[in-house]
Amino acid sequence: MALQPDEDHDVMVHHFRQLGAGPPTWTISLGDEILSERMTLESAIELARDIALMHSRPAWLLDETGYPLKPID
């Protein structure tokens, strides 16, 4: 059975675009707590992998294409 995302407990990388100004950013959260923001997807994924390893949780990506969440290996 494939692992299913748990947005309340897993590490999430969300694509975030500010209205009207600035480039898009990526937020990294663990459950409902936002831990950091990054300017590039690559740096967001790198940090998410570290956090996931530290907390023994899977990491997921919600990019500009929307759901479904994509696993971060």
54 membership: H or E segment, kind and range: helix 41-55
Specify if 73 maps to a domain.
yes
Quote the CA–CA distance of 28 and 59 in Å, as a whole number: 10
Split into its structural domains, the chain has a count of 1
Specify if 25 maps to a domain.
no
Mind listing the pLDDT tens digit of every residue in the chain (73 residues)?
678 999 999 999 999 887 777 788 999 999 999 999 999 999 999 999 999 999 999 999 998 888 999 999 8
Specify if 59 maps to a domain.
yes
Specify if 13 maps to a domain.
no
Specify if 65 maps to a domain.
yes
Q: What is the pLDDT of residue 12?
A: 98
